[in-house]
Amino acid sequence: IDSGKNNYSTEVQNSTASDEDKELAPSEKSLLQKIVRTGLITSKHDIEVQRRDPKSPLYSVKSFELLKLHPNLLRGVYEMGYNAPSKIQETALPLLLANPPQNLIAQSQSGTGKTAAFVLAMLSRVDPELQYPQVVCLSPTYELAIQTGEVAAKMSTYCPNIRLRYAVRGEDVEKGSKIEEQIIVGTPGKVLDWATKYKFFDPKNIKVFVLDEADIMVDTQGHQDQSFRIRKLLPETCQMMFFSATYTEDVMRFANAIAPMSVIIRLKREEETLDNIRQYYVNCNNKEDKYNALVNIYGGVTIGQAMIFCQTKKMALWLVNQMTEHGHAVALLSGELTVQQRISVLDSFREGKEKVLITTNVLSRGIDIEQVTIVINFDLPVTVTREPDYDTYLHRIGRTGRFGKKGIAINLVSGSSDHAILKQIEEHFCKPIECLNTDNADDME
């Protein structure tokens, strides 16, 4: 598969210089999270399964070998560094690869291996000898479709005869011709047009229909309707695979309409905890003092990367300027950046080009950067009424799943109101926050 990686189009969001952090759309958050993620979220929870027919067999596999995949596909899977199926894959893959095919509705949080599961199923259901579309996968946006296509391209490195076509904006097919690629990954509107208006492929030949990021689709005007209309064109026997990160009533109604008589599997969300996090605070008098403490910490940290949270954009900018002036390489992620700019900031940080990432609250929710070992609250998280913001505190420094590895959080506090807030945070989580003296080399080890 030629992944046809497009440069992210810059028209997604125009850059505007506002003082407010721009709240990202759910599809953009999901995209960012996919891009910064480097590995699986492992879950401590068990899979919940609902079957229409309780007698239908249910398997779980602990290895990819047991799935009897084509050797070239298996090779691709191993080369991606997947040694064993993730929790959701253990249960989903045998269902997805079963004969006769079974419909599946799967819900689990982002990062648990859903995409890898359905891409593997798509690839193994394709007949590479046939030169027409056999699989359709719907994604809510251009960028998310490309992400999925890239996973397919990697996994099928050793299956040169399997080809993929993107049905997204900017992609055209010559009028009157037919698509020869076996897999179509695209957005609902474009796929519908290609099937009905232009008849670039025959939906009756589709044997696998995947609907990904269903919760984002539900929130997007027209997507549900377009997906239903595509679904109606597919043969009775087509296997339906439905994926969502959340499990709301709306999503389930959509799911049951798209994929009736499905096995439903769910994996409970892994909660963030402070269990493996050592928490400290540093007494400071003012922001200059905080800056000095920071530089001492920064000097003392030889491994890993740090993320620094500021309450306002103004403070973040001040800090970036201070640090840059003193010769430190820092990255800034702020709310007015476009999605493309955020992606490039995060990519560069993930590659280790900067050791420190400074940000406001934009990043505190929903985006985890795994290799970060130190989180510094340059400002404590507070609500608009200056109450402690416990959720944000947890999202900033908490870790889930495989991030269970140890982390350090350092709070820079100045003044009595900061101390009061810190005390409340400590009591709220029932976890001690110890005093750290950044002038003392012993403390810094």
| Closer residue to ligand ADP, CB minimum distance, 39 or 300 | 39
Confirm if 214 and 242 have CB atoms less than 8 A apart.
yes
| Closer residue to ligand ADP, CB minimum distance, 114 or 207 | 114
User: Taking the complex as a whole, how short is the minimal distance between the CB of residue 40 and ligand ADP, in angstroms?
Assistant: 4
Binding of ligand ADP by 149 (CB under 6 A): no
Binding of ligand ADP by 40 (CB under 6 A): yes
| Residue count, binding to ligand ADP (CB under 6 A) | 15
User: Taking the complex as a whole, how short is the minimal distance between the CB of residue 77 and ligand ADP, in angstroms?
Assistant: 8
Residues 113, 115, 118, 123: is their CA dihedral positive or negative?
negative
**Residues 47, 67, 69, 82: which binds ligand ADP (CB under 6 A)?**
82
Q: How many Å apart are CA 319 and CA 317, to the nearest integer?
A: 5
Confirm if 324 and 358 have CB atoms less than 8 A apart.
no
User: Taking the complex as a whole, how short is the minimal distance between the CB of residue 113 and ligand ADP, in angstroms?
Assistant: 4
Binding of ligand ADP by 139 (CB under 6 A): no
- Phi/psi region, residue 366 (left: phi>0; alpha: psi -120 to 50; beta: rest), is left
Confirm if 330 and 320 have CB atoms less than 8 A apart.
yes
| Closer residue to ligand ADP, CB minimum distance, 76 or 85 | 85
Binding of ligand ADP by 37 (CB under 6 A): yes
- Tell me if residue 232 falls in helix, strand or coil: helix
| Closer residue to ligand ADP, CB minimum distance, 113 or 407 | 113
Return the exposure string of 346-385: e unless at least 16 CB atoms fall within 10 Å of the residue's CB, then b: beebbeeebbbbbbbbbbbeebbbbebbbbbbbbbbbeee
Confirm if 360 and 311 have CB atoms less than 8 A apart.
yes
| Closer residue to ligand ADP, CB minimum distance, 197 or 405 | 405
| Closer residue to ligand ADP, CB minimum distance, 243 or 309 | 243
Q: How many Å apart are CA 144 and CA 28, to the nearest integer?
A: 9
Binding of ligand ADP by 224 (CB under 6 A): no
Strands 372-377 and 407-414: parallel
User: Taking the complex as a whole, how short is the minimal distance between the CB of residue 243 and ligand ADP, in angstroms?
Assistant: 7
| Closer residue to ligand ADP, CB minimum distance, 81 or 170 | 81
User: Which residues inside 290-329 make contact with ligand ADP, applying CB under 6 A?
Assistant: none
Using CB under 6 A as the criterion, what x/- string covers residues 84-123 for binding ligand ADP? -xx--x--------------------xxxxxxx-------
Whether the link from the prior residue into 388 is cis, omega within 30° of 0, is no
Confirm if 120 and 72 have CB atoms less than 8 A apart.
no
User: Taking the complex as a whole, how short is the minimal distance between the CB of residue 38 and ligand ADP, in angstroms?
Assistant: 6
User: Taking the complex as a whole, how short is the minimal distance between the CB of residue 433 and ligand ADP, in angstroms?
Assistant: 32
CB neighbours of residue 98 within 10 Å: 17
Q: Where do contacts with ligand ADP occur on this chain (CB under 6 A)?
A: 37, 39-40, 81-82, 85-86, 89, 110-116
